[in-house]
Amino acid sequence: MLLQIGYELLWDVPSPAPAIVKLYLHPSQLPRLKQPECVTVEPEIPIEEFIDEFGNRAGRLILPTGRVRLWNHAIVEDNNRPEPVNPNARQHAVEDLPLRTVPYLLSSRYCEVDLLSEIAWQLFGQTPPGWARVQAVCDWVHENVRFGYEYARPTKTAYDVYTERTGVCRDFMHLAVTFCRCLHIPARCAAGYLGDIGVPPCPLPMDFSAWFEVYLDDRWYAFDARHNIPRVGRILMARGRDAVDIAFATSFGLLNLVKFTVWIDKVIEDIAIG
Protein backbone atom coordinates (compact mmCIF):
# COMPACT_ATOMS: atom_id res chain seq x y z
CA MET A 1 0.00 0.00 0.00
CA LEU A 2 1.22 3.49 -0.89
CA LEU A 3 0.39 6.56 1.19
CA GLN A 4 0.75 10.17 0.16
CA ILE A 5 1.65 12.37 3.10
CA GLY A 6 2.35 16.03 3.61
CA TYR A 7 1.54 19.29 5.32
CA GLU A 8 1.23 23.02 4.73
CA LEU A 9 2.03 25.59 7.41
CA LEU A 10 1.53 29.32 7.03
CA TRP A 11 2.93 31.74 9.59
CA ASP A 12 2.62 35.49 10.00
CA VAL A 13 6.04 36.61 11.27
CA PRO A 14 6.13 40.12 12.84
CA SER A 15 9.95 40.28 12.85
CA PRO A 16 12.74 37.89 11.83
CA ALA A 17 12.70 34.79 14.05
CA PRO A 18 15.23 31.95 14.23
CA ALA A 19 13.52 28.56 14.44
CA ILE A 20 14.23 24.85 14.72
CA VAL A 21 11.83 22.61 12.79
CA LYS A 22 11.42 18.84 12.97
CA LEU A 23 9.17 18.50 9.97
CA TYR A 24 10.99 15.66 8.25
CA LEU A 25 10.45 11.92 8.33
CA HIS A 26 12.60 10.12 10.86
CA PRO A 27 15.71 8.57 9.22
CA SER A 28 14.36 5.10 10.03
CA GLN A 29 11.48 5.77 7.62
CA LEU A 30 13.59 6.67 4.60
CA PRO A 31 13.67 3.09 3.17
CA ARG A 32 9.88 3.34 2.90
CA LEU A 33 9.98 6.37 0.60
CA LYS A 34 8.74 5.88 -2.95
CA GLN A 35 8.70 9.59 -3.72
CA PRO A 36 11.26 11.71 -1.81
CA GLU A 37 10.31 14.40 0.64
CA CYS A 38 10.38 17.95 -0.64
CA VAL A 39 10.47 20.40 2.27
CA THR A 40 9.96 23.83 0.74
CA VAL A 41 9.90 27.31 2.25
CA GLU A 42 8.34 30.35 0.58
CA PRO A 43 9.93 32.87 0.33
CA GLU A 44 12.97 30.76 -0.44
CA ILE A 45 15.40 30.79 2.49
CA PRO A 46 18.23 28.41 3.41
CA ILE A 47 17.64 25.56 5.89
CA GLU A 48 20.60 24.12 7.76
CA GLU A 49 19.72 20.45 8.27
CA PHE A 50 21.15 18.30 11.07
CA ILE A 51 20.49 15.17 13.16
CA ASP A 52 19.66 15.92 16.78
CA GLU A 53 20.74 13.96 19.88
CA PHE A 54 17.72 11.63 19.56
CA GLY A 55 18.38 10.75 15.93
CA ASN A 56 15.70 13.04 14.51
CA ARG A 57 16.17 15.03 11.30
CA ALA A 58 15.87 18.74 12.01
CA GLY A 59 16.41 22.06 10.31
CA ARG A 60 17.52 25.49 11.49
CA LEU A 61 16.36 28.59 9.64
CA ILE A 62 15.55 32.26 10.12
CA LEU A 63 11.96 33.09 9.26
CA PRO A 64 11.75 36.53 7.63
CA THR A 65 9.17 39.22 8.39
CA GLY A 66 5.85 38.67 6.65
CA ARG A 67 3.99 35.56 5.53
CA VAL A 68 6.09 32.39 5.48
CA ARG A 69 4.77 29.18 3.94
CA LEU A 70 6.37 25.80 4.62
CA TRP A 71 5.14 22.61 3.01
CA ASN A 72 6.15 19.06 2.24
CA HIS A 73 4.95 16.09 0.22
CA ALA A 74 6.11 12.48 -0.10
CA ILE A 75 4.84 9.01 -0.95
CA VAL A 76 5.56 6.21 1.50
CA GLU A 77 5.12 2.45 1.26
CA ASP A 78 3.25 0.72 4.10
CA ASN A 79 2.81 -3.00 4.73
CA ASN A 80 -0.91 -2.48 5.43
CA ARG A 81 -0.64 -4.39 8.71
CA PRO A 82 -1.29 -3.17 12.27
CA GLU A 83 1.64 -2.61 14.61
CA PRO A 84 3.12 -5.70 16.31
CA VAL A 85 1.43 -6.99 19.46
CA ASN A 86 3.38 -9.27 21.81
CA PRO A 87 1.42 -10.11 24.98
CA ASN A 88 4.35 -12.22 26.19
CA ALA A 89 6.91 -9.40 26.01
CA ARG A 90 8.79 -9.38 29.30
CA GLN A 91 9.83 -6.40 31.38
CA HIS A 92 13.54 -6.02 32.10
CA ALA A 93 14.91 -5.47 35.58
CA VAL A 94 16.32 -1.96 35.75
CA GLU A 95 19.86 -3.26 36.31
CA ASP A 96 19.60 -5.35 33.12
CA LEU A 97 18.42 -2.56 30.82
CA PRO A 98 20.74 -1.35 28.04
CA LEU A 99 22.27 1.94 29.14
CA ARG A 100 20.81 3.73 26.12
CA THR A 101 17.29 3.11 27.51
CA VAL A 102 17.91 4.38 31.05
CA PRO A 103 17.23 8.10 30.28
CA TYR A 104 13.69 7.06 29.38
CA LEU A 105 13.05 6.08 33.01
CA LEU A 106 13.68 9.60 34.30
CA SER A 107 11.55 12.69 34.81
CA SER A 108 11.54 15.26 32.01
CA ARG A 109 9.91 18.64 31.36
CA TYR A 110 6.38 17.26 30.79
CA CYS A 111 6.71 13.89 32.53
CA GLU A 112 6.96 14.26 36.33
CA VAL A 113 7.90 10.79 37.50
CA ASP A 114 8.41 12.01 41.07
CA LEU A 115 4.87 13.41 41.32
CA LEU A 116 3.11 10.38 39.84
CA SER A 117 5.13 7.39 41.11
CA GLU A 118 2.99 6.62 44.15
CA ILE A 119 -0.19 7.01 42.08
CA ALA A 120 1.18 4.74 39.35
CA TRP A 121 2.02 1.94 41.77
CA GLN A 122 -1.40 2.24 43.43
CA LEU A 123 -3.13 1.96 40.07
CA PHE A 124 -0.96 -0.64 38.34
CA GLY A 125 1.24 -2.31 40.95
CA GLN A 126 -0.92 -5.46 40.97
CA THR A 127 -0.84 -5.93 37.20
CA PRO A 128 1.59 -8.48 35.70
CA PRO A 129 4.86 -6.81 34.67
CA GLY A 130 5.61 -6.49 30.97
CA TRP A 131 3.13 -6.09 28.15
CA ALA A 132 0.06 -6.49 30.36
CA ARG A 133 1.20 -3.66 32.63
CA VAL A 134 1.73 -1.26 29.70
CA GLN A 135 -1.65 -2.23 28.27
CA ALA A 136 -3.25 -1.56 31.65
CA VAL A 137 -1.71 1.93 31.59
CA CYS A 138 -3.10 2.56 28.09
CA ASP A 139 -6.53 1.28 29.09
CA TRP A 140 -6.66 3.55 32.14
CA VAL A 141 -5.52 6.68 30.28
CA HIS A 142 -7.84 5.94 27.35
CA GLU A 143 -10.83 5.47 29.65
CA ASN A 144 -10.17 8.31 32.09
CA VAL A 145 -8.95 11.20 29.91
CA ARG A 146 -11.36 13.06 27.60
CA PHE A 147 -10.01 14.18 24.23
CA GLY A 148 -10.65 17.69 22.90
CA TYR A 149 -8.64 20.38 21.11
CA GLU A 150 -10.15 22.95 23.45
CA TYR A 151 -8.20 21.33 26.31
CA ALA A 152 -4.78 21.92 24.73
CA ARG A 153 -2.20 24.27 26.18
CA PRO A 154 1.57 24.30 25.71
CA THR A 155 2.43 24.14 29.42
CA LYS A 156 0.24 21.14 30.25
CA THR A 157 2.18 18.35 31.97
CA ALA A 158 1.42 14.71 32.75
CA TYR A 159 0.42 15.62 36.30
CA ASP A 160 -1.95 18.28 34.95
CA VAL A 161 -3.53 15.67 32.66
CA TYR A 162 -3.97 13.30 35.59
CA THR A 163 -5.70 15.93 37.71
CA GLU A 164 -7.77 17.54 34.92
CA ARG A 165 -8.57 14.32 32.99
CA THR A 166 -8.65 16.15 29.64
CA GLY A 167 -6.22 16.72 26.79
CA VAL A 168 -5.09 16.19 23.21
CA CYS A 169 -3.02 13.28 21.88
CA ARG A 170 0.26 14.63 23.28
CA ASP A 171 -1.34 14.77 26.74
CA PHE A 172 -2.49 11.14 26.53
CA MET A 173 1.09 10.32 25.50
CA HIS A 174 2.71 12.26 28.34
CA LEU A 175 0.56 10.66 31.03
CA ALA A 176 1.06 7.11 29.71
CA VAL A 177 4.80 7.65 29.32
CA THR A 178 5.09 8.97 32.86
CA PHE A 179 3.15 6.07 34.36
CA CYS A 180 5.39 3.61 32.49
CA ARG A 181 8.55 5.32 33.73
CA CYS A 182 7.16 5.27 37.27
CA LEU A 183 6.76 1.50 36.84
CA HIS A 184 10.40 1.13 35.71
CA ILE A 185 9.53 0.61 32.05
CA PRO A 186 11.56 2.78 29.63
CA ALA A 187 9.14 4.91 27.62
CA ARG A 188 9.78 7.54 24.97
CA CYS A 189 7.52 9.93 23.11
CA ALA A 190 6.91 9.75 19.36
CA ALA A 191 5.10 11.83 16.77
CA GLY A 192 4.26 11.71 13.10
CA TYR A 193 1.48 10.90 10.67
CA LEU A 194 -1.51 8.66 11.43
CA GLY A 195 -4.38 8.48 8.96
CA ASP A 196 -7.84 6.95 9.29
CA ILE A 197 -6.85 3.72 7.57
CA GLY A 198 -8.94 0.69 8.47
CA VAL A 199 -10.94 2.66 11.05
CA PRO A 200 -14.03 4.90 10.81
CA PRO A 201 -13.06 8.38 9.54
CA CYS A 202 -12.50 10.94 12.27
CA PRO A 203 -14.71 14.04 11.83
CA LEU A 204 -12.00 16.32 13.25
CA PRO A 205 -9.41 18.04 11.00
CA MET A 206 -6.31 15.97 10.22
CA ASP A 207 -3.37 16.72 12.51
CA PHE A 208 -0.02 15.24 13.35
CA SER A 209 -0.34 12.47 15.92
CA ALA A 210 1.51 11.64 19.15
CA TRP A 211 2.03 8.15 20.57
CA PHE A 212 4.74 6.44 22.63
CA GLU A 213 7.17 3.53 22.58
CA VAL A 214 8.19 1.23 25.43
CA TYR A 215 11.22 -1.02 25.77
CA LEU A 216 10.20 -4.61 26.48
CA ASP A 217 11.88 -7.90 25.65
CA ASP A 218 14.93 -6.30 23.98
CA ARG A 219 13.07 -4.02 21.58
CA TRP A 220 10.82 -0.96 21.35
CA TYR A 221 7.06 -1.36 20.82
CA ALA A 222 4.55 1.33 19.82
CA PHE A 223 1.51 2.06 22.02
CA ASP A 224 -1.19 4.70 21.63
CA ALA A 225 -3.21 5.63 24.72
CA ARG A 226 -5.56 7.90 22.81
CA HIS A 227 -6.78 5.37 20.23
CA ASN A 228 -5.77 2.27 22.23
CA ILE A 229 -5.77 -0.14 19.28
CA PRO A 230 -2.97 -1.19 16.90
CA ARG A 231 -3.14 0.97 13.79
CA VAL A 232 -2.15 0.77 10.14
CA GLY A 233 -0.09 3.49 8.48
CA ARG A 234 1.71 5.09 11.41
CA ILE A 235 4.68 7.06 10.02
CA LEU A 236 7.33 8.32 12.42
CA MET A 237 8.78 11.83 12.30
CA ALA A 238 10.45 12.32 15.69
CA ARG A 239 11.24 10.61 19.01
CA GLY A 240 12.38 12.00 22.36
CA ARG A 241 11.84 12.31 26.10
CA ASP A 242 8.70 14.43 25.76
CA ALA A 243 7.14 17.19 23.63
CA VAL A 244 10.22 19.40 24.03
CA ASP A 245 12.27 16.95 21.96
CA ILE A 246 9.66 16.22 19.29
CA ALA A 247 8.18 19.69 18.77
CA PHE A 248 7.56 20.32 15.07
CA ALA A 249 8.60 23.95 15.39
CA THR A 250 10.49 25.79 18.12
CA SER A 251 10.83 29.52 17.49
CA PHE A 252 13.01 32.14 19.14
CA GLY A 253 10.59 34.93 18.40
CA LEU A 254 6.87 35.45 17.80
CA LEU A 255 5.11 33.36 15.14
CA ASN A 256 1.39 33.58 14.41
CA LEU A 257 0.06 30.38 12.84
CA VAL A 258 -2.38 31.31 10.06
CA LYS A 259 -2.86 27.91 8.40
CA PHE A 260 -2.11 24.33 9.42
CA THR A 261 -3.03 21.42 7.16
CA VAL A 262 -1.84 17.81 7.33
CA TRP A 263 -2.76 14.94 5.03
CA ILE A 264 -2.21 11.19 4.72
CA ASP A 265 -4.17 9.29 2.09
CA LYS A 266 -3.95 6.09 0.11
CA VAL A 267 -2.45 6.57 -3.35
CA ILE A 268 -4.92 5.74 -6.07
CA GLU A 269 -3.68 3.65 -8.97
CA ASP A 270 -3.61 6.38 -11.60
CA ILE A 271 -1.16 8.57 -9.63
CA ALA A 272 2.23 8.34 -11.31
CA ILE A 273 5.10 7.57 -8.98
CA GLY A 274 8.37 9.10 -10.16
Ranges of each domain in the chain? 2-80+248-266, 94-232
Share above pLDDT 90 across residues of the chain, in percent, rounded to a whole number: 91
CA 261/CA 234 separation, integer angstroms: 18
Nearest to 4 by CA among 170, 220, 180, 206: 206
What pLDDT does 274 receive? 46
CA 39/CA 24 separation, integer angstroms: 8
What pLDDT does 173 receive? 98
In this predicted structure, the answer to whether residue 12 has a pLDDT above a threshold of 70 is: yes
Q: What is the chain's alpha carbon radius of gyration, rounded to the nearest angstrom?
A: 19
To the nearest 10 degrees (0 to 180), the angle between helices 169-182 and 131-144 is 140
What pLDDT does 91 receive? 98
pTM value is 0.93
Q: How high is the mean pLDDT of the chain?
A: 94
Highest average pLDDT, of 77-81, 98-102, 262-266, comes from 98-102
Mean pLDDT on 176-194 = 98
What pLDDT does 269 receive? 56
Mean pLDDT on 220-246 = 96
What pLDDT does 7 receive? 97
Q: Identify the residue with better confidence: 198 or 212.
A: 212
- Phi and psi, residue 229, nearest 5°: -145, 150
Q: Identify the residue with better confidence: 140 or 200.
A: 140
CB–CB of 202/264 below 8 Å? no
CATH class of 94-232: alpha beta
In this predicted structure, the answer to whether residue 73 has a pLDDT above a threshold of 50 is: yes
Instruction: Enter the CATH code of domain 2-80+248-266.
Output: 2.60.40.2250
CA 216/CA 196 separation, integer angstroms: 27
Would you place residue 198 in the very low, low, confident or very high pLDDT band (cuts 50, 70, 90)? confident
Mean pLDDT on 189-198 = 91
CB–CB of 256/12 below 8 Å? yes
pLDDT in tens, 36-71: 998 999 999 999 999 999 999 999 999 999 999 999
In this predicted structure, the answer to whether residue 271 has a pLDDT above a threshold of 60 is: no
CB–CB of 72/6 below 8 Å? yes
